[in-house]
Amino acid sequence: MTSTINDIAREAGVSIATVSKVINNKAHVSPDTRKKVLQVMEKLHYTPNVSAANLARRSSMNVLYADRFYKGLPYENPHMFDIVCGVSHELSRKGYRLSLLNLDSCGKKPEAAMEEVILSRVADGIIISSAFVTARMERLLLKYDFPQICIGEPAFDTILSWIDTNNTLSSNLAVEHLVSTGCRTLAFMGGRREDSIFMDRLRGFRSAMERRGLEVSEDYITYNPPDVEAIFRSASALLELPVPPDGIICTNSLMAVGAMRAIQAKGLDIPGQVSLIAFDDHPYSPMVSPQPTIIDVDLFSLGVHAGNLLLKKIRDPAMLVQTYTALPRLLLRGTTRL
Amino acid sequence: MTSTINDIAREAGVSIATVSKVINNKAHVSPDTRKKVLQVMEKLHYTPNVSAANLARRSSMNVLYADRFYKGLPYENPHMFDIVCGVSHELSRKGYRLSLLNLDSCGKKPEAAMEEVILSRVADGIIISSAFVTARMERLLLKYDFPQICIGEPAFDTILSWIDTNNTLSSNLAVEHLVSTGCRTLAFMGGRREDSIFMDRLRGFRSAMERRGLEVSEDYITYNPPDVEAIFRSASALLELPVPPDGIICTNSLMAVGAMRAIQAKGLDIPGQVSLIAFDDHPYSPMVSPQPTIIDVDLFSLGVHAGNLLLKKIRDPAMLVQTYTALPRLLLRGTTRL
DNA sequence: TTCTTTTGGTAAAACGCTTTCGGAATTTGG
DNA sequence: CCAAATTCCGAAAGCGTTTTACCAAAAGAA
C-alpha cells in the first residue's frame, strides 16, 4: 500500500535508523547518504506515519483549543474565531496542528474530558477559554504539568498562564481621546453588572477619570441589557440631564447604535455637539453613519501570541508562568472630533 | 508515570488482549472479568494512549477542516465559523476530533499539503472548502479514495461529495415573498460578477421571475463592490428609474443598508412604498431600523450534516458520492409587508 | 452419548516509527 | 605518529496498542 520507512531503507540501501535521521534532520549522516535517502523518499512519495512517530517520540504535534463550539456562537461572540485563526496560523507555521475540543458536547464533564485528553496524549498542550477554568480545572492542569494558556484572565487568583485584552487600558484610551478632543462631561454606557468585561471597563473608566481629576457622577453611568430599544431610552435619558454629556463611551457596538439614534433623534450633531466612542470593531461598522470611532484589540495577533507562548512552554517545560495583555488600538472614525 | 494497558492487565490478573477487548467493548469477555478490569482502569486513572491505538488500528479518529484561517477572516466571511462549529459539534458527539488544516500558511502548496496529510494518516477524512478544490485536488482525493466533503459546490463538474446552500431556491423564496406581498417591479442588487455566490443567486432570480411570467429588465439588475457609498449610489439610481422598483432583493446585508439609506433619503417608506429583502442574517441585524427581512440558511445544521455524511463515508468506504443542499428559511422582519 | 459451536481467555505478532548503543572509519590534537 | 575525539552507520530495543491464531472449557444439537 503506502510506503514505510522500511521500504525507503531497503531501496536506499541503508538502515531505517539512518532514514529516521534524515527525516528528522539529525546529524551524523553524510551529505551523500542524505541526498540518496531524500531521492528515494521523493520517488516513493514517502510521508512518515504520524501515529507511529508520535508513539515513538511520545508527543503528538498537536494542540487543543478547548471551548464551547455551538450553534449561533458567532452571534454571541463574533470575535472568538479571530483568536482561533491566530492560534491556528501560528501553530501551522511551526508544524503543529490545532484541534478543537468541544468541552460542551463531548458527553462528559469538562474536567473529566480534560483529564482524558491529557492522559491519552492526544495533544502536547492546550489553549482553554477561561470560562472553563475552575479551581478543579486548575488543579488538574497543574497536577499533570500540562502546557496551557487561558484565553481571558481567569475569574480567580491563579498561577496558570493567561493572555487577555487590557480593558483598563482601553477605557483609559477612550477617556484620553475624548478629553483631548475637548469633551468635558463624559457618560459611560455599560452592559449588565454581572458581566465582568463591562465591569473591568467601568473600573478602567473610573480610574482614568480620577487620574485626570475629573469628577464622575453615578448619573452618567448606565447599565444596559442587550436590547436596542432599552439602550435608546437609556441614552435619551442621559441627554435629558441638566448638564448633558458631550462625550459618550459605549462598551459595545449595539450601544453605539442605540446611543447614536438617541442623539440624532434629539437633533444633535455627531461629533459636533456630542462625541461617541465604542469598544470592539465588527464587520458591519460601515453600516452605521457616521462610522463610529472604535477602541479594539487585534485578536488575531492575540491568538498568534497565545500559540507562540504555548509552543515555547511545550518545548521548554521549565518555562515559567506567563501572562500577557494585548494593547488596545484606537480606530479614528467619524464620531469623535480630531 | 501514567499507566499503560500492561499495568491494567497485571493488576486485574488478565492478559492485555482481554483489557483491549474491554476498552473497545468487544465480545468474549465474561461480565465478571469485564467488571474487574473496569474497576482497575478506574482505580489507576487509565486512559488508552491514542497514538498507540491509532497505529495499531490504522485510523486516527480525527477529521480535518481544510480552509484558510487568516487574519480578519470573520470579517470577510462571518458565517464560516458557524459551519465549523456544526461540524465540530457533530464529530465530538461521535467520538471524533476536528483539526484545522491551514491550507494557506503551512508553507506548502495546497495539493502538496493535502497529499502529505493523506499519506501521514493524520486524519480519516477531510472537510474542505471548495475554494481549494481544483482539478488536481480532485484527482488527489480520488486517487487515494480519501473520505471527503466539500463545503460549497465546486466550480467545475466533479464526482466529489459536497454540500451547499441552495442559492437558486433562496432567490426563488425571495421573489415569491415579495410578489405575494404585492410587489410588482423587482430589482436585484448583486455583488461582483466574479463572485459565484452572487451569480448563483442572480440565476435563481431570473428563473424565479421567468417561472412567474414576470419580465426582468437588465436596468433592474446591479453589480456592486463591497462599499456602502457605491451601493448607496447604485440604489439611488434604481429609484430614479421611470418605473422605480417597489421590491428590492439585496444579496447581502451591506447592500441592504446601502439600499435602505437610499430609500429613506428619497423620503420613501419601508415597507409601505418599497419592500426590501436581504440574504444572510448576521449578529448586527438589530442595528438597522427597520430590521431587514432576511433569507438565510442554518449553517450550523449544514455543518452537522457535513460531519455526519463524512462519518458515514469513513465507516463505510463503499458509500457512494453524496451531495446535499440546505433549504433556505425566511426570517420575516420589518422591511416587507405581511 | 458424541460431535459441533460458542464462549472466555492468552501468547505473540504486528503497526511504523525513534533512540540508544556499539563498532568501524575518519579526523583532530599534541 | 599515536592517542583521542568525532563522524557515520546499523542492530535492536522499545513506544502502547489491536488483532490474529489458538486452546480449553462450556453449551447445544443430534
Does the nearest atom of strand D lie within 7 Å of A29's Cβ?
yes
Q: What percent of chain B has pLDDT over 90?
A: 79
CB B242 within 8 A of CB B217: no
Cα separation of the two ends of chain B: 68
Of B115, B119, B283, nearest to A78 by CB-CB distance is B283
CA distance B335 to chain A (A): 16
Long-range contacts of A177-180 (CB under 8 A, 24+ apart): A177/A277, A177/A293, A177/A330, A177/A336, A178/A247, A178/A249, A178/A275, A178/A277, A178/A336, A179/A212, A179/A214, A179/A247
- The whole-number average pLDDT for the span B317-324 is 88
Interface with chain A: mutation pick from B50, B70, B296, highest number of A CBs within 10 Å = B50
Buried b (16+ CB within 10 A) or exposed e, A112-142: ebbbbbbbbbbbbbbbbbbbbbeeebbebbe
Residue A16 CA to residue B36 CA, distance in Å, equals 41
Given a cut of 80, is residue A75 above it in pLDDT?
no
The CA–C1' separation of A49 and C17, in angstroms, is: 7
Whose CA is closest to A157, among A308, A321, A326? A321
Test mutation, A89, A104, A291, chain B, max B CBs within 10 A: A89
Rounded CA-CA distance B54/A54 in Å is 10
Judge whether residue A92 contacts strand D, using its CB and a 7 Å cut-off: no
Q: Which residue is nearest to nucleotide D9 (CA to C1')?
A: A18
A28-32, A244-248, B90-94, B121-125: lowest mean pLDDT where?
A: A28-32
> Which residues are bridge partners to B323 per DSSP?
B162
The set of residues, in sequence order, having a beta carbon less than 8 Å from that of A130 and lying 6+ positions away, is: A150, A151, A152, A153, A154, A155, A162
pLDDT of A81 strictly over 70: yes
pLDDT in tens, A268-278: 999 999 999 99
Peptide bond into A226 cis (omega under 30): no
Q: Which helix (H) or strand (E) holds B294?
A: strand B293-296
- The three cell numbers locating residue B89: 459539534
Spell out the SS3 assignment of chain A.
CCCCHHHHHHHHCCCHHHHHHHHCCCCCCCHHHHHHHHHHHHHCCCCCCHHHHHHHHCCCCEEEEEECCCCCHHHHCCCHHHHHHHHHHHHHHCCCEEEEEECCCCCCCHHHHHHHHHHCCCCCEEEEEHHHCCHHHHHHHHHCCCCEEEECCCCCCCCCCEEEECHHHHHHHHHHHHHHCCCCCEEEEECCCCCHHHHHHHHHHHHHHHHCCCCCCHHHEEECCCCHHHHHHHHHHHHHCCCCCCEEEECCHHHHHHHHHHHHHCCCCCCCCCEEEEECCCCCHHHCCCCCEEEECCHHHHHHHHHHHHHHHHHCCCCCCCEEEECCEEECCCCCCC
The pLDDT value recorded for residue B75 is 63
Count of positions (residues) in chain B: 338
- Mean residue pLDDT of chain B comes to 92
Non-local (6+) Cβ contacts of B160 within 8 A are B133, B138, B141, B142, B148, B150, B154, B321
Sheet holding A247-250, edge to edge: A221-223, A186-190, A247-250, A275-279, A293-296, A329-331
* Closest residue to A284, CB basis, from B89, B92, B284: B284
Distance CA A184, CA A211 (A): 15
Contact (CB, 8 A) for B189 and B252? no
Using a CB-CB cut-off of 8 Å, the residues of chain B touching A50 are 60, 120-122
The pLDDT value recorded for residue A50 is 97
The grid coordinates of residue B275 equal 419592500
Q: How far is CA B33 from the centre of its chain?
A: 46
Answer whether residue B312 shows pLDDT above 80. Answer: yes
pLDDT of residue A123: 97
Asked if residue A253 has pLDDT above 80, the reply is yes
Length, in residues, of chain A: 338
Name the minimum distance, in Å, from the CA of B110 to any CA of chain A.
13
- What CA–CA distance (Å, rounded) separates A151 from A128? 6
Q: How confident is the model at residue B198, as a pLDDT?
A: 87
How does DSSP classify residue B220?
Answer: G
- Better-scored residue on pLDDT, B1 or A224: A224
Between B52 and B226, where is the model more confident? Answer: B52
Q: Using CA atoms, how far apart are residues A196 and A208, in angstroms rounded to an integer?
A: 18
Rounded CA separation A178/A56 (Å): 59
At B279 the pLDDT is 92
Cα dihedral sign, A317-A318-A319-A321: positive
pLDDT given at position A74:
65
Q: What is the pLDDT of residues A193-218, one digit of tens each?
A: 988 888 889 999 999 999 999 988 99
What's the CA A38/C1' C22 distance, rounded, in angstroms? 26
Q: What is the DSSP string of B110-170?
A: HHHHHHHHHHTT--SEEEEEGGG--HHHHHHHHHTT--EEEES--SS---S-EEEE-HHHH
Is any atom of nucleic acid chain D found less than 7 Å from the CB of residue A58?
Answer: yes
The protein footprint on chain D, as nucleotides within 7 A of a CB, is 7-12, 14-21
pLDDT of residue A194: 86
Quick check: A289 pLDDT over 80?
A: no
Nearest residue to B216 (alpha-carbon basis) of B170, B182, B261, B249: B249
Residue A201: exposed, middle, or buried by beta-carbon count in 10 A (0-12, 13-18, 19+)?
buried
pLDDT higher than threshold 70 for residue A305: yes
- Provide the pLDDT for residue B76: 65
Contact B321, B161 (CB under 8 A): yes
Residue A76: which pLDDT band, with cuts at 50, 70 and 90? low
The cell numbers describing A227, all together, are 436590547
Query: How much of chain B, in percent, has pLDDT values that exceed 70?
Result: 97
On chain A, the residues whose CB falls within 8 A of the CB of B228 are 286-287
- Least confident range from A137-146, A214-223, B75-84, B116-125: namely B75-84
CB atoms under 10 Å from CB of B237, counted, come to 12
Interatomic separation, CA of residue B52 and C1' of nucleotide D25, rounded (Å): 33
More confident residue, B107 or A211: A211
How many Cβ atoms are within 10 Å of A289's Cβ, its own excluded?
Answer: 15
Mutation site, B84, B227, B287, interface A, largest A CB count within 10 A: B287
Q: Sheet containing A323-326: which strands, arranged edge to edge?
A: A323-326, A162-165, A148-151, A125-129, A62-67, A97-102, B97-102, B62-67, B125-129, B148-151, B162-165, B323-326
Please give, chain by chain, protein residues whose CB is below 7 Å from any atom of strand C: A 4-6, 16-17, 19-21, 23-24, 46, 48-49, 52-53, 55-57; B 13-18, 21, 27-30, 32-34, 52, 55-56, 58
pLDDT 10s digits, B282-310 = 767 767 778 899 999 999 999 999 999 99
**Interchain proximity B79–A74, CB inside 8 Å:** yes
For residue A119, pLDDT over 90 is answered with yes
The percent of residues above 70 in pLDDT, for chain A, comes to: 98
Q: pLDDT tens, A154-187?
A: 989 999 999 999 988 999 999 999 999 999 999 9
Looking at the predicted structure, is the pLDDT value of residue A11 above 70?
Answer: yes
Residues of chain A neighbouring B288 (CB-CB closer than 8 A) = 287
The reply to whether residue B120 touches residue A50, judged by beta carbons under 8 angstroms, is yes
User: Does the N-terminal peptide bond of residue A147 adopt cis geometry, omega within 30 degrees of 0?
Assistant: no
Q: Which member of B71, B92, B100 has the closest CB to residue A105?
A: B92
Give me the mean pLDDT over the A299-310 stretch.
Answer: 96
